[in-house]
A and B are shown apart, each in its own frame.
Chain A
Amino acid sequence: MKALAKTAATLALLGALAGCDDYLTGDDLSGDPNIPPAATTDQLYHAVVLAQFVQHTGDLARHASMFTQQMAGVGNQLTGRGQYILTEQDLNGAMDAIYLGGGLYDLREIIRRSDAAQDRRYAGIARVWEAYLMGESASLWGDLPYSEAVGENQTPKLDPQAEIYAAVQPLLDQAIADLQSGAGRGPGAVDLIYGGAAAPWAEVAHTLKARFYLHWVEAQAGGAAQAMAQTACAGDCVAKAHAAAQRGISATANDFRSAQVNSPNAENLWYQFMFVQRQGQISAGRYLVDLLKERGDPRLTRYFRPLASGQIVGADPGGALSSLLSSARGAPDFRQPMATYAETQLILAETSWRRGDAAQALVHLNAARAAEGLTPPLTGLTGAALLREIMLEKYIAMFQNIEAWNDYKRTCLPALRPARGSEVIGRLLYSNNERNTNPNIPAVSAQPARNANDPTPCPAP
């Protein structure tokens, strides 16, 4: 009996103690001591900018350079990638990074905080980053989650590509207005590109506007996609691109370039990939090298270094290891150009040509050539020959830039011979991470071969 009473008392005590939660909660128990509890806007901005450098100068840029045969995939997994052999897993990280890991989710937070603090300069700069991210991404994947992304909806729908572009243009207009208002402190020294100065950022915004208008010029020409071009540009794409580019980046000193230093894990990503992590997998592409040699272009030695034989050589997709980046271009602290004065001039050259003004086009072409150190200025070019010259110059100037692929898709210049099959690859597959959890993403078999702004495949050369 005594034992039974004691049993009962023990159980009662146990019951009472079970209700006490103090032991299971506490500072290091309910909160993770390893993560920062809060971040300043500057800290968020710095991480986001680094993430955007990865997005625009990393894996996507390497793939675009292989697709346009500026570089060649010559080892391990890259032999297939340069021949457009890609599964839905291969670039899934790049698509996921649009939204997470320093992408749209954090960009929106910066914009939110800046708007609340009425720091228009900060908000303007963040808006430029968002527009750049979404415009580039829409050019690669086509339809994407945007209006419902990073919000309450757990399975955002795909916005049509034209609507994303249509949303990006007013976003850039808002950014320009914010930057030109003169209000706000901005990121200051945390801005690694322009040190927080508003004027160059506004110029970048204009160049991006022009670039994104230009993406719809092919669709505007005619056919089913014409209506979508109308949505994307809200008017004549060529005229709008021309007007925007005239207020774009005004000098090479204002080029929009990544910031890198020769310090571990802060170096240029091409350097990290080619010389540290994955040696022997990517090297100079034969098409670009042969083009530079044929034109006697000084950028041959600026871009590439010779092999042991003393020759600068380019490889075909899946070929043998060829020339690597030059010591200047392949330097750990080389600042990767993302949007440049030369590009802006070449956009103006193309839009002038499309408006029928060959003379003006030539002026802009020569301005771009001068900015790249090419002499003497060209004369006497008109018609198809002039467009070809403009696009070849742009192909060379936009070395290692995703934009070279967009230029090819729009103009079919330079006349590349597809590495495999009858067409150069037209778009990237959706990330399997997105497809696995979001029923709005179609299966691989149901995804189109090209994006809406690129209706016509290029003819065989």
Chain B
Amino acid sequence: MMPMNGGRPPVSPERWQMAARMHRLHWRLKWSHCDTARRKARFLLRLGLQPVLAVARAAVGTRRYGREVARVAGVPRWRQFLQQCAIGARFFGFTPDTYYRYKIHSESYFGQLQLEVADQLFLTGALRNDGFSTFGASARRHWYPKASAAWEFTEALGGGTGLLSFGKLRAAWGQAGNEPPVYGTVGGLTAAPLLDGGWGSNFVTSALGQGGVYTGLSRAQPDLKPERTSELELGADLSFLQDRIALGATWYHARTEDAILLARVTPSTGYFQQLRNAATLRNRGVELSLQMRPVQRRGLSWEIEGTWAHNDNRVLSFGDTATEFVVLQGGFASATGAAYRGGRVGVLQGNDYARCGRGLVVGGVDIDAACGTGARKDALYIAADGFPILDPTLRVIGDPHPDWTASLRNSLNLGAVQLMALLDVKQGGDLWNGTRGALYSYGTHRDTEQRASCQRVAGRLQCSGNERVFGQDLLPGAVAGPGAGTAVPIGENWWRTGLGTSFNGVNAPFIEDGSYVKLREVALSYSVPGRYAQRLGLSGIGLRVAGRNLKTWTDYTGLDPETNVAGGTNLRGVDYFTNPQTRQWILSVDLNR
């Protein structure tokens, strides 16, 4: 989202004089662009009788980062443990000493013109040039324009009326760029550990007393250029009834070209991935806000504030047509995150049971034929033994993006006391309940409490009791296939060694709706009257008691629909033994002087 410039209050004549003086001062300074420096100059220009404020800025920066992880003698064990946790090493594992550093140089120039017409129309235009050392040689510097206009139309109507006290329409358009991760233009060798299937076992390349080096997984991308987002934003701010009611609405449409993604490369070429300007993405949505003050008197006021937002993102294309999806970081082994062509960024992919109407052939069996012609599309296929089977094809199984989000805030001010309550609402958005999938395997989830009794007979698990029928009381829904409607014993044969657990490959049944309403905060605050505060030599004392994350209303069966195992990454909606949000009670005392 770009900042909006339209709507800034007009610059007073006094400030313009000061700006002019500043311009003279800055102009005298010597310009040396290879320093780490910022230079700013403001100019006062005239366009006829119309004053125009111009700002020019240059910023030249160096960013350096270094991180050293080394085993140092004499560090107490408890500190080693914390350090290893901080860098994600297993407590009893081994971390080779590492020293990682990078340096980035950036150079930006910015010029902006601001114009105010007739006290009601605010126009801004700006142009920016950015250069980064992290781009390819052919694409180091780029221009980014932007413009905005805001019209306070109630001024044109001669000031606000009783009903419509303030109205402003705004429009903005601009382009912004994004820099890539460092050293994307450079490929080469690596000495990273050689991993054994992701289970944790591995060899360091310095094993057995020799130094080993091999070709890294990332192919160099010498032509890396910035991703460019063009965004159009239209909005309106309206106030009614002498500012008792304020309504804000914004619609935006952003199109990102050349989005930088770590795209997958065909492994049989010898590389796994390459940073590419690979995708075209689109984000569009609406944001609404409403403020109301139903009661506003001396000593008593009540304010209601609500917001509502909806965002839709979509991958319009990847650069080449062969790629169907790009895997994103932050997923879990059986529910990875991906961006699919034509779909959204950050969906969950995994496996489902074999279902009818999908053209599947599994283990030599034509599933659609076995389902029969009367079968509903996506009906669960039941094999002759009465159980569903795995579909080994990777597919999108869930979408963590919400349909809309909203919040509602109520504040009641009674003299020096204020009571506030905040509700957060999220509607839509899937979560993968990997915790439930694992607990099924361990037999510690309530759903597995009723179970068949199983024994090993001649090498096979024989179970009896707890008979269920797929499609009725287990995985309810349409079923088809040779074993449809058969009652089968459900116990360890399904929950641990069968397809009832997420460990054995099927994750679609563990996708749940993550909509929630949360009582995010309730707070009571009190401003101690001034005379008491002054007795203590203070100008004011404030007391506040607040509770956060007090209650959640949701259909999600896990601990908290607002968790994510990967933390803040491109992907959300993965719950795997993650802790829920904490409920907090906060008591604070503010002492002001």
**A95→B272 CA distance, assembly (Å):** 12
Q: How many CB-defined contacts (below 8 Å) exist between A and B?
A: 313
Judge whether A436 and B503 touch: CB under 8 Å. no
Cβ-neighbour of A155 out of B58, B195, B216, B266 (below 8 A): B266
Of residues 139 through 177 on chain B, the ones whose CB sits less than 8 Å from some CB of chain A are 140-141
Known: A33-B101, A59-B199, A86-B392. A264 touches B269 (CB 8 A): no
Contacts of B265 in A (CB 8 A): 154, 437
**A101→B191 CA distance, assembly (Å):** 10
Judge whether B213 and A47 touch: CB under 8 Å. yes
**A158→B205 CA distance, assembly (Å):** 31
Residue of B103, B208, B364 with highest tally of chain A CB at under 10 A = B208
Judge whether B205 and A50 touch: CB under 8 Å. yes
Does chain A have a CB within 8 A of B369?
no
Which listed segment binds A: B249-257, B455-463, B482-490, B576-584? B455-463
Contacts of B333 in A (CB 8 A): 89
Contacts of A378 in B (CB 8 A): none
Contacts of B27 in A (CB 8 A): 6, 10
Judge whether B133 and A85 touch: CB under 8 Å. no
Judge whether A421 and B363 touch: CB under 8 Å. yes
Does chain B have a CB within 8 A of A379?
no
Cβ-neighbour of A100 out of B102, B217, B438, B505 (below 8 A): B217
Judge whether B504 and A150 touch: CB under 8 Å. no
Does chain B have a CB within 8 A of A311?
no
Contact with B along A180-199 (1 / 0, CB 8 A): 00000000001010000000
Does chain A have a CB within 8 A of B117?
no
Cβ-neighbour of A29 out of B96, B104, B217, B390 (below 8 A): B104
Judge whether B196 and A24 touch: CB under 8 Å. no
Does chain A have a CB within 8 A of B198?
yes
B114 to chain A, nearest CB (A): 14
Judge whether A156 and B56 touch: CB under 8 Å. no
A241 to chain B, nearest CB (A): 29
Cβ-neighbour of A34 out of B100, B104, B266, B390 (below 8 A): B100
Judge whether A100 and B272 touch: CB under 8 Å. yes
**A151→B41 CA distance, assembly (Å):** 54
Does chain B have a CB within 8 A of A105?
yes
Judge whether B207 and A266 touch: CB under 8 Å. yes
Judge whether B392 and A87 touch: CB under 8 Å. yes
Does chain B have a CB within 8 A of A221?
no
A374 to chain B, nearest CB (A): 27
Which listed segment binds A: B286-294, B317-325, B374-382? B317-325
Give the nearest-CB partner of B136 in chain A: A30
Give the nearest-CB partner of A145 in chain B: B268
Contact with B along A346-366 (1 / 0, CB 8 A): 000000000000000000000
Contacts of A32 in B (CB 8 A): 102, 183, 186, 188
Cβ-neighbour of A153 out of B20, B105, B269 (below 8 A): B269
B338 to chain A, nearest CB (A): 9
Give the nearest-CB partner of A155 in chain B: B266
Of residues 1 through 37 on chain A, the ones whose CB sits less than 8 Å from some CB of chain B are 3-4, 6-7, 10-11, 13-14, 17-18, 20-26, 28-37
Contacts of B200 in A (CB 8 A): 272-273, 276-278
Does chain B have a CB within 8 A of A109?
yes
Residue of B107, B269, B393, B496 with highest tally of chain A CB at under 10 A = B269
Judge whether A100 and B267 touch: CB under 8 Å. yes
Does chain B have a CB within 8 A of A175?
no
Does chain A have a CB within 8 A of B441?
yes
B445 to chain A, nearest CB (A): 15
Does chain B have a CB within 8 A of A372?
no
Contact with A along B382-404 (1 / 0, CB 8 A): 00000000111110000000000
Contacts of B58 in A (CB 8 A): 14
Judge whether A105 and B390 touch: CB under 8 Å. no
Contacts of B271 in A (CB 8 A): 100, 105
Judge whether A18 and B129 touch: CB under 8 Å. yes
Contacts of A7 in B (CB 8 A): 43, 45, 54, 56
Contact with B along A23-58 (1 / 0, CB 8 A): 111101111111111110011101111110110001
**A169→B461 CA distance, assembly (Å):** 44
Give the nearest-CB partner of B54 in chain A: A7
Does chain B have a CB within 8 A of A265?
yes
Cβ-neighbour of A46 out of B190, B205, B270 (below 8 A): B205
Which listed segment binds A: B78-86, B233-241, B354-362, B465-473? B354-362
Cβ-neighbour of A58 out of B188, B201, B325, B503 (below 8 A): B201
Give the nearest-CB partner of B100 in chain A: A34
Give the nearest-CB partner of A6 in chain B: B27
Which listed segment binds B: A125-133, A206-214, A380-388, A439-447? A439-447
B398 to chain A, nearest CB (A): 16
Does chain A have a CB within 8 A of B210?
yes
Judge whether B267 and A18 touch: CB under 8 Å. no
B133 to chain A, nearest CB (A): 4
Known: A47-B212, A436-B325. A85 touches B269 (CB 8 A): no
Contacts of B497 in A (CB 8 A): 79-80, 83, 317-318
B208 to chain A, nearest CB (A): 6
Contacts of A103 in B (CB 8 A): 270
Contacts of B336 in A (CB 8 A): 89
**A316→B23 CA distance, assembly (Å):** 83
Known: A29-B103, A88-B393. A80 touches B270 (CB 8 A): no
Does chain A have a CB within 8 A of B88?
no
Of residues 62 through 113 on chain B, the ones whose CB sits less than 8 Å from some CB of chain A are 92-94, 96, 99-105, 107, 109, 111
Known: A88-B392, A101-B217. A93 touches B205 (CB 8 A): no
A108 to chain B, nearest CB (A): 8
A167 to chain B, nearest CB (A): 15
Does chain B have a CB within 8 A of A449?
yes
Judge whether A319 and B133 touch: CB under 8 Å. no
**A61→B270 CA distance, assembly (Å):** 23
A117 to chain B, nearest CB (A): 18
**A29→B132 CA distance, assembly (Å):** 10
B509 to chain A, nearest CB (A): 15
- Other A-B pairs beyond A24-B141, A273-B201, 8, CB < 8 Å: A33-B101, A98-B267, A105-B271, A154-B265, A261-B207, A265-B207, A276-B93, A438-B322
A residues near B (Cβ < 8 Å) are 3-4, 6-7, 10-11, 13-14, 17-18, 20-26, 28-39, 42-44, 46-51, 53-54, 58-59, 76-77, 79-80, 83, 85-91, 93-96, 98-106, 109, 144-145, 148-151, 153-156, 190, 192, 259-261, 263-266, 269, 272-273, 276-278, 286, 316-319, 417, 421, 429, 431-434, 436-439, 443-446, 449
A and B contact pairs by CB, cutoff 8 A, 10 listed = A30-B185, A39-B189, A44-B214, A47-B191, A76-B503, A85-B505, A153-B269, A433-B272, A445-B361, A449-B363
Closest A-B pairs by Cβ, 4 of them: A80-B504, A105-B270, A47-B212, A318-B497
